[in-house]
Structures are given as structure tokens and as C-alpha cells.
Amino acid sequence: MSTDTASVHASSAEQVGLPCSEDCLLRPGNTNCGGCGMSVGLTLLGRVLAAERRECQLAIPACCGIVTAGGYPTTSYGVPVVATTFASAPAYASGMARVRSLNGERHEVICWAGDGGTYDIGIATLSAAAERDEDLIYVCYDNEIYGNTGGQRSSATPAGALTTTTPGGKAEAKKDIMAIMAAHGVPYAATLSIAHPEDFERKIRTALEIRGTRFLLLHSPCPTGWKAEPGDSIQLVRLAVASGLFPLYEVWDGVRYRLNAEPDGTDPAEYFTLQKRFAPGEVDPQEARRVGAARFERLRALAAMQSG
Amino acid sequence: MGTELVTGNHAAGYALSAAGEANRFARGAACGIYPITPQTEIVEYVASFPFSKGEVVPVESEHSAMGVSIGASLAGARAFTASSSNGLAYMTENIMVAGFYRLPIVMVAVNRTLGPPWNIWADQGDTLFLRDFPWIQLYCQDNQEVLDTTLLAFRLAEDPRILLPVMVCMDAFILSHTQTATELPEQELVDRYLPPLDLPHRLRGDHPVTLGGLVWPAEAAYQRADVERAMARVPEVLAECRAAFEDVFGRPVGDALETWGTEDAATILVASSTVATTAREVVRRRREAGEKVGIVRVKMFRPFPERALRAACAGARRVGVLDRNYAAGVGGVFWQDTRAAFQGVPRGPLVQGYLTGLCGGDVTPETIAQVLDDLTRRRVAERPLWPGLEVAEEASA
């Protein structure tokens, strides 16, 4: 990166001793919230891309990810970024990726989108890109809420969560986007947790070795929306994995499943009590544990099917 | 290729494909496509074209068709698409982005009635409702003009002084599905006319900009002003593109505004697209009978050629505007802009609007004659009239 802005950012990072080089995907100095899972996700993604010496271009729809860039003329991203219309990230990325391949270039085209842009308004576009098996990586950082509009329900919001548009708690269950994407038969789909960085980075490396549509779902804590302490963010998503609420797994071609972490019997009660979005008594942790366990058994059966 | 009998859709598909093919030694061609009557044959033509270096992406909606074309254009390819009617309405959000991202995308739009009701016939309301976006709009009168204007549109859009997308419009069925003798140029000529595209702001790994991120009010307003400056340069660049077209292809291509018999006319009609061709014939007959009438065909609606229009109508007492479109609560869109063009002109002409051929209705010589009869007797302008329809007048708002 030879632009003045990039070198200014890089040198200021060095001055304050941050572990950052010009390869930074997310530069220091951004104004994201403390405890933001999306920011940690971008850092981990950038670390793998830098280690693998892979360039990328981002297509980002309306979401905190584009707010992250900051105000013109500076940007918090160290790579070319295109802001897309809310529903369009996979469409813009399809055009970018097709022309990339047409010209024999190797950079990855990555969609970086929130759950609103993925589960709701953008799902037709995402489904179509997956059906065409466009050669792109799609990362949904799922904070289970419309975050930068101040916390409204999306179809990724879990049952019982209070949002500004479900003031009495959401009645409906969270949509299973992984099952939807697996049903498209995409070459690779995987869930990511920032509490499991080695697993996260391994999955990015795996995705980089595969061509076609690769879908990654990141459980992304949002202290503002979840009404939780920023310092609890990583603990929260760790609890979600350990208690079976957010299973870590991979799916190849929609048929070959692999589970990456066994729930260890952790009681999900703490996951709920650490977040004020769940009103006391609104969510029965044991019911949540039962639902999580049933889903995990289903995944275990799917994983056994192709290995048996 | 020579002269063949082709439809307007075939002519458009031919031109889009040849223009895309002409970029094969640069970053190639790419587009998102989606069907809608009556433009489907255009995207079918493009999808079957054997591009040397091109990607045609059949997507799930018009919104994504423009989305793919935007992504392709940002990556440096020559990008285009086609649509119509409700498809344009569905695509609207990304049409706006293409303009404000200053992408030289060319879209052929077949003018069809916006539903409801379900009506597939000619009406310009679908593209005119996009008139406030940063797109150049060109309305064609015949199939040859569709082909030639589509080729010209790429050269105009890609000119570094312009960098704005262009919409090439034609009437549903009257052109899109009607075969006429059309000269189809050899690829070699198209190659000569359309040099390789080098988009100055295409995405580059060594230049990590964020396109479309947050811009504060003062700078964001400059972006609008930049678009307006580019719009102001269009007449000059269009003239160059037309001259180059004639040099390469050996035939002229229609100007932003064309006049016929206006020099001495006291009464002038303003029309566009195929309505203008019918009106021209009626005007010709009237002039033969000694009437001082003339006609202006507005081919370029954005940017609106108001100076040329004022000059063309300088001697006129009355101007009648034929609109095949309807803007609720106002009247016709061409009428609004024509009326505005004469605002403040001392002793300017009376400007009367006529809503003709809406939703695909025939605009016959008899309709035009009725308009001229009304116009030549007129002392004051009224609310737009609906010739041929019995529309009861309410008290004006």
C-alpha cells in the first residue's frame, strides 16, 4: 500500500507500538465500540490474510461494518472497500469476482455483512449467489440485532430477546441460516467464534483453499445491543459454544459435516443473566439447553452419516 | 454484417454485445441480466453472444442485475444491462448507486407502462421517474438509432470528462418488437469507435479506498456538484462522440435535439421517441398546406437541452408538448421541463401540455391533428389535456 493515508496510519500504529503493519485489514484508530465482536473478527480475518499473503477486496452492505470505515477522506480499512446497497453485497461481489477471475487475478472478494443484511433483506441475493456458486467468501457477523440503527429485531434475534421492536421479548426462534446455506450445497460453510481464535483462523485458511461460495457465520457479541459489559464479550460467546447454544461446525458441499467443539455441559443460565436483553424469567435456560442439545444431536447425526 | 431486418431489441442486443466484445484487450465485459417483457430478447441476445473475454451473469432480480454490473464496472470491465417498467422500479436503488459511483454503465431501457394495471405497452413513465438520478437519458426514434445510440452511449459514458451511466430508451413493441432494415456494423468498426476502457477509479489493491462510506455534508454536497459539472459537459462531449461516430460508421447519429420546420414556425410541437416520428409527418403535411408549424424532437432528456430548445422555439407563439407519460398531480414530464425552459423569457411562448398515448395507446396522425387544431387556436395555456379521452375536469388544485 503506497498511499499517503495508508502510510500515515501504519506509521502512527508503529509509534504507539501496536502489532500492526501496512497489511492491517482493520486499522488502529477506528471508532468501533469496546467489546465489539465484529472488530475482533476483522482483526482475526486480517491476520490470516496477511500470514497467507492474500489480498482482498471487501463488499460491505449497510451495517456496522461500513460505519467502521469512518468519515471521508480517511478509512479504517487497509484494503479496497465498496459500500453496497443493503441487499446487494453478494451481487456487487459477484461482478467484482467475475472480472477478477476474467483477468487472472488472485485476490479474494469478501462480503462482510451483518445479520440484517444476511438473514433478512439480503437473503435472496445471498441465496442466488450461492446457487450460482460465485467465487467469493461471505462472512456474516451475527450480532442478532439491527445494531447501527439502535437495536431492532432481525430474524437472527433469539427468542425472548428484548429489542426496540420487540419490547416484550421476541416470540419467534432464531432462523437457522447455516441449514439454509448448507441446503444450497455451497462448497464450504462454517461457524466462527472469537472465543476460539485458533479454530476461527483455521477455518479462514480452509476457506482460502477452496473456490466457490464459502459462507462463514460469526457469533458476534454486541455490548450495546446485548446490554452487556464490553469486558464480557468473549466470555459470552465462549459460554454460547460451551453450553451448546452456538455450535462450532463445518459443512462441505452441504453434505459432509464436522463438529469442532463438544458442549461441555455448561449451564446456559450465565449466558442469559450476563445480558440485560434477556429479561429475568423471559427465557428458560433449561429449555434453551434442550433446544441447543437437540440441534447438536442432529448435527452429530449428520456428521456420523458421512463418516459411517 | 450489412443491412438486416431486425427488431429494436435485436439492435440493442447487438450493440451491447459488440461494445462489450470491443473491450476484450482490456478488462473485458460483464453484466448482470434478468428478463422482463418487452426487453427479454436483449438479455437473451447478450447471454448467447460468444464473448472472447466476458461474463454474463443471469441473476435473481433486476436489483441484482444492476448490482452485478456495478461490481463488474468497479473491477474495470465494460458493464451494461437492460430492463423495463417495474423491473426498473425494482432496480432503482442500484440505478442510483451506479450514477453516484460515476460508473460508465450503459442500460437499454424499453419503455413500458409501470403497473398496476398490468400493461406491457409503451409508456415513458418508467424511465422518466428516474430522471433525477445522475444518468444521461437518450430516447430513440427507430431501430437504427437504438443501435447507433447504444454504441455512442459507451463512448459518451466512458469519456473521462463525463463518467456517468447512460440509459438508452425505446418504445415497447413499436420498436422493441418491430423489424426494420438496420445496418449492423462489423466488430472491427466498433473496436475502432470504442477504445479500451480504463476506469480511473477502479478498485486496485495498492489503493485501499473505501467507496461509498460516510461523507460529511460539505464534501457530500461537492459530490453532487461534480455530477452537475459533468452533466454540463455532456452537450460538448456528445458533439464529439457524434462526429467520431460519423467518421467511423459513415452515417450520422441523432443529436440531443432535432428540429424540423421550426425556423419560421409560429406553432411548434415538442415530442420524443416514436411519437415524434408520427408528429413529424403530420407537421410536414400541414406545412405543405401552408401552415407555419414545426416540430422539435427531444432525444436527450437528461441533461435537458433547454438552451437548444429555447433557441429552436425562439420565434414561436405557441408550443405544444406531447407526453407519453403521466406525473401524478402535475401532468406530463416533458411538458414540465419545457415550460421551465421558457421561464423568465420575455414574450415567451404559450406552452400547452398534451397527454397522448399513455399506457400504450396509439398516437395516430388524427391525434396529432387534434392537438395542432387545439394549439393553433389557443389564447391561454391550461392544465395538460387528454386528447381522445373524455376526462372530466375537477377544480384545479
CB contact under 8 A, A99 and B32: no
Q: Would the pLDDT of A234 be above 80?
A: yes
B372 contacts B267 by C-beta, under 8 angstroms? yes
**Contacts of residue A87 in chain B, CB cutoff 8 Å?**
63
Can you tell me the distance from the alpha carbon of B271 to that of B257, in angstroms, rounded to the nearest whole number?
A: 10
- Give me the phi and psi of A39, to 5 degrees please: -65, -40
CB contact under 8 A, B71 and A132: no
Range of lowest pLDDT (A3-17, A25-39, B32-46, B264-278): A3-17
Average pLDDT, chain A: 92
Please tell me the total count of domains within chain B.
Answer: 2
**pLDDT confidence of residue B396:** 53
pLDDT in tens, B189-207: 999 999 999 999 999 998 8
**No. of H helices and E strands in chain A?**
12, 8
Residues of chain B with pLDDT > 90, as a percent, come to 96
CB contact under 8 A, A82 and B74: yes
Query: In this structure, is residue B397 part of a structural domain?
Result: no
- Listed in sequence order, the residues at least 6 apart from B194 whose beta carbon sits closer than 8 Å to its beta carbon are B19, B22, B23, B78, B151, B154, B155, B158
Give the CATH number, domain containing residue B290: 3.40.50.920
Query: In this structure, is residue B275 part of a structural domain?
Result: yes
Residues B178 and B55 occupy one common structural domain: yes
**Contacts of residue B215 in chain A, CB cutoff 8 Å?**
71-72
Residues B263 and B347 occupy one common structural domain: yes
Q: Would the pLDDT of A308 be above 60?
A: no
Residues B31 and B147 occupy one common structural domain: yes
Per-residue confidence at A17, pLDDT binned at 50, 70, 90?
A: very low
**pLDDT confidence of residue A306:** 74
For residue A16 the three cell numbers come to: 504507539
- Give me the phi and psi of B62, to 5 degrees please: -65, -35
Low-confidence stretches of chain B (pLDDT < 50) are 397
Q: Give B298's DSSP letter.
A: E
Query: Which residue, B203, B224, B249, sits at the end of a domain?
Result: B249
For residue B331 the three cell numbers come to: 401532468
**Interval A204-230 mean pLDDT:** 98
Per-residue confidence at A22, pLDDT binned at 50, 70, 90?
A: low
- Look-up of cell digits 432525444: B299
**Interval A207-233 mean pLDDT:** 98
CB contact under 8 A, B212 and A87: no
**pLDDT confidence of residue B94:** 98
Q: Would the pLDDT of A13 be above 50?
A: no
Shortest alpha-carbon distance between residue A302 and chain B (Å): 30
Can you tell me the distance from the alpha carbon of A138 to that of A130, in angstroms, rounded to the nearest whole number?
A: 10
Q: Closest chain A residue to B202 measured between Cα atoms? A: A80
Domain that holds residue B275: 257-377
Q: How far is the first Cα of chain B from the last one, in angstroms, to the nearest whole number?
A: 56
Residues B244 and B273 occupy one common structural domain: no
For residue B183 the three cell numbers come to: 445496418
Mutation site, A92, A148, A184, A213, interface B, largest B CB count within 10 A: A92
pLDDT in tens, A273-298: 999 999 888 899 999 999 999 999 99
Half-sphere exposure of B186 (CA within 13 A, CB side): 5
Could you list the beta-strand ranges (E) of chain B.
2-6, 29-33, 54-58, 78-84, 106-111, 136-139, 166-171, 180-184, 210-211, 257-260, 267-271, 293-298, 300-302, 318-323, 350-355
CB contact under 8 A, A83 and B94: no
Report CA torsion sign: A136, A178, B58, A89. Answer: negative
Query: In this structure, is residue B54 part of a structural domain?
Result: yes
Contact of B72 with chain A, judged by CB distance below 8 Å, is answered with: yes
Residue A286, Ramachandran bin (φ over 0: left; ψ between -120 and 50: alpha; else beta): alpha
Q: Give B297's DSSP letter.
A: E
Residues B233 and B270 occupy one common structural domain: no
Range of lowest pLDDT (A18-22, A84-88, B135-139, B298-302): A18-22
Domains of chain A, start order: 32-307 (3.40.50.970)
- Look-up of cell digits 452429530: A300
Half-sphere exposure of A177 (CA within 13 A, CB side): 34
CB contact under 8 A, B205 and A55: yes
